[in-house]
Chains A and B, each alone.
Chain A
Amino acid sequence: MNRSRVRAFSRSAAIAALVLFAGATGARAQDRTPNLWFQGTRLNFAHAVPMQGDLAVSTRDDGLRRFLDRLGASVSYQPQQRYVVITAQDRRTIVFTIGDPAYTIAGVRAQAPFAPTADGGDVVLPFFALARALYVEPVQGSTETVLQPRIGVLDVRSDANRTFVTVRGAMPLVTTTNAESPDRLQVSFTGLGSSLAPSRRSAGAAVDEIDVAVGGSPRVPTTTLTIAGARGTTHRIVPADVPDAFTVVFEAHGPVAQAAPPTPPPLGSSPPTATPDYPPGGSPQTPPTAAPPVVAGRATVTDLAIEPGAGDSLAIRVSLSGATAYEWHRLADNRWYIDFENTTLTGPGRDERPSFGAVESVRMRQLGTGDAPTVRIAFTMTGEQRVDLGPSDTGIVITVFSQPADDLTRIGTGQTGGVPVMPSATTFEPGAAGSPAPWKYGPATNPKLIVIDPGHGGADVGTMHNGLTEKLLTFDIAQRLRSILVAAGWTVRMTRDNDTDPVSTDNLSHMHADGKPNADDRAYLQTRCDVANNAGARLFISIHVNSAPVESAHGTTFYWYKPQDAAFAQALEKSVIPAAGTFDDGTRHENFYVVRHTTMPAVLIETAFVTNAGDVGLLRQPSFLQNVAQGIANGVKAYAGVPSANALSQQ
């Protein structure tokens, strides 16, 4: 029997075992397979087995693949290891472990009804748990189960006089403005339900209250969000970078109309929320896209409520405004505590003694002030009870069970409310990783020759942003540089003389005996190197234009690889920056192909960023391109002198 047959047989056996297990619990599995609807169509699975209130579905099932595709999520799993990672469209990771019902959503632990199982390249997952983590809630009807996409995140963050309110849904938002005045906004999101609490008082500077109402039908729900700003505020909707998020900012003018923090409810009498929070139908893990970055000390704990949980458990609900990272510890003497980093309390500390559950006392304190405020919530249990930590619609909920813990893990970390604060972040200096390996190269056999490599060309356009195309800019600068260098007495060869791919037959056929273009990326780049290597050039200059996924990146960067490149890169840096007037992004040691595989001093210059507004303005000016070329020529002169003297020194 070959390996594929063995796998097929064992996969079938695993599915059969699941079916038998379900049958043994008292009903025929097929009869109980839910009639699932998602976005107006029936969601069919090839193999789905109801199990302990969830649905066991294979990651190879086409139905699951279609479901995840619509949500922009992807599955990563590799046989022979135990983690299954689902990456959501908003980059949250949902991590299952083969053989363990516990899983995490963006680092926050949750519990599935059953443990995932693996068979070869196939994994069977608890589908409903996964759907909820992706903000899709199964809503049970009389004859069908609707997989209802929901608004899963309501994030409220404030700075001095502004409050940013962001919602994020499972799907792209279809937004309708119902009513609007300067200090009030009501919008509806069609096709999405909600896992949020119906009302929330904000601790922010410019918003008093946020109400969430759900209407419509299970199949076509509508969520309406009403935001009441503080008196005298104005608001504006912030354009979102991603379609599944909506952000509005309310701004207070004049003296800040500070909203009063919510009054902590009496112990054990917190009103139950209408939203299930465990496993989460929604999680406040995702920050707003357009809101300002969170800085240390911005998160606040606005409320602490202790109430009976499911069964005889006790739930400690922590309401948070803003984003924070946390770390929890289980101590050997039955104490358990969690520290919220860079977080402050809006009110005084709390000391509580619950009259129920397995917790003797709960304490909340502000630790540290100034640059590193921390809020600690600690409690003492009657024994080594099981403690679960999960997201809620307003922060997190800590559930303490009366049963002893199976897993006595002592420490854990996570983030909540959006951008994690990372006070322990360490910045490494460039080059600290180690020095480059020794490199050997021979003397130039043609010491008057400089090879200019205009980056990209032909079908390889390079980067394109803001109406600028890299291959055209690099060729423009290269032509200008060639003119200056030739006037100075250098011999110049270009790796391409027009807008063609250097591997194309008509451009570099003289370098390839068979006249055929190269077939792969290595040959493509090696061709550029060969122009200089074969001719024994003195210097190699590769000209590029940079781009980045972040708009803030700007300036000119000089990349080198071989030790002998470094001095040339520094010479170019000293000449180009003052001539071009760009930000000096420095010289960087990188494993870039063309500087590594050339045998003479070589530098790859990224002249400016086509993704930065300031640099774009420069790149559009011919005078700037000329200044860059002149700066490079000045650097060549500073490093290599003039060609005649250089030629004599080589002889």
Chain B
Amino acid sequence: MRWSRALVLVVLFVVAVAVAWWYTHRQVALVDDTIVVYYVKDDGTSLVPWRVSLGPARDRASVAFYAATQCVAGPPEGTEAVRFPLGTRVRAVNVVGSTADVDISKDVASSAEGGFAESAEFKALVWTLTQPSLHVTAVTVRIDGARVATLPGGHLELDEPLSRSSF
């Protein structure tokens, strides 16, 4: 009796480990080999989805990082888009559950561009990371690793999770 109980516990433990491994290493299911990246047009509000090809990595951490870097880099020059300040880069994206924590370099605050640009930039980033295939619904932001209330002299509240309904 004691042995069978121990066996059941071992089996449960193995199943739990397997489920945890699957959850953390699951592959992002994509319709094709592309992922959607959003940018905001010059009017400051209109979102434009932009499909970019992916490399072979399909794990959620890689795809989320890739999508965020493409969003921050923005569409090719000449496209009418509100862009992150030049030099801004994604330092890290950590996805835990349904929240993505994005760490952006301080270059994002290098130009005080008012609420218009701030809103457009983060709207694009949030929409990019909350696309259905990534199973992310909220985005938290760090600037150079630190949690901040807003950008310096900024308007948009950044120390609470942002979602699509924030905009």
Contacts and interface: CB of A to CB of B under 8 A. Distances in A.
Given A87-B69, A435-B165, A470-B114, 11 more contacts: A82-B62, A87-B73, A92-B76, A287-B76, A293-B78, A414-B53, A418-B76, A548-B44, A548-B116, A593-B150, A609-B114
A101 B52 CA distance: 19
A85 B66 contact: yes
B144 interface: no
Nearest to B61: A81
B70 interface: yes
Contacts of A104: 53, 55
Contacts of A506: none
Interface in B98-143: 105, 111-117, 119
A286 B77 contact: yes
Interface in B68-83: 69-70, 72-80, 82-83
B116 A428 contact: no
17 contacts: A74-B89, A81-B93, A82-B59, A85-B70, A87-B72, A87-B73, A460-B152, A470-B112, A521-B149, A548-B42, A548-B113, A557-B44, A591-B156, A591-B166, A592-B156, A597-B157, A606-B115
A470 B93 CA distance: 34
Interface of B: 32-34, 41-53, 55-57, 59, 61-62, 64-66, 69-70, 72-80, 82-83, 85-87, 89-93, 105, 111-117, 119, 148-157, 159, 162-167
Contacts, number: 245
A454 to B, nearest CB: 13
A49 B53 CA distance: 30
Interface size for chain A: under 10, 10 to 19, 20 to 34, or 35 or more residues? 35 or more
B70 A93 contact: yes
A288 B114 contact: no
A5 interface: no
A97 B56 contact: yes
Interface string A524-558: 11000000000000000000111111101100010
A102 B55 contact: yes
Contact of A80 (B46, B61, B153): B61
Chain A interface, DSSP helix/strand/loop, else mixed: loop
Interface string A384-419: 000000000000000000000001011111110011
A456 B155 CA distance: 10
Given A97-B57, A434-B165, A589-B167, A557 B116 contact: yes
A596 B155 CA distance: 10
Contacts of A596: 157
B89 A525 contact: no
A179 interface: no
A294 interface: yes
A593 B53 contact: no
A79 to B, nearest CB: 9
A312 to B, nearest CB: 26
Contact of B80 (A289, A426, A550, A594): A550
Indicate the member of B56, B59, B72, B116 with the most A CB atoms within 10 Å: B116
A323 interface: yes
A288 B153 CA distance: 33
A367 B48 CA distance: 25
A447 to B, nearest CB: 28
B55 A591 contact: no
A559 B115 contact: yes
Contacts of A425: 48-50
A478 B148 CA distance: 28
Contact of A293 (B32, B55, B80, B117): B80
Query: Lowest 6 A-B CB distances belong to which pairs?
Result: A522-B149, A434-B165, A287-B78, A82-B57, A97-B55, A419-B78
B78 A418 contact: yes
B24 to A, nearest CB: 10
Interface string A301-318: 000000000000000000
Given A293-B78, A544-B115, A547-B114, A591 B66 contact: no
Given A87-B89, A93-B69, A409 B33 contact: yes
Contacts of B61: 78, 80-81
B89 to A, nearest CB: 5
Contact of B150 (A100, A294, A521, A588): A521
Contact of A83 (B55, B74, B152): B55
A548 B82 contact: yes
Contacts of A232: none
B64 to A, nearest CB: 8
Given A81-B59, A428-B47, A91 B77 contact: yes
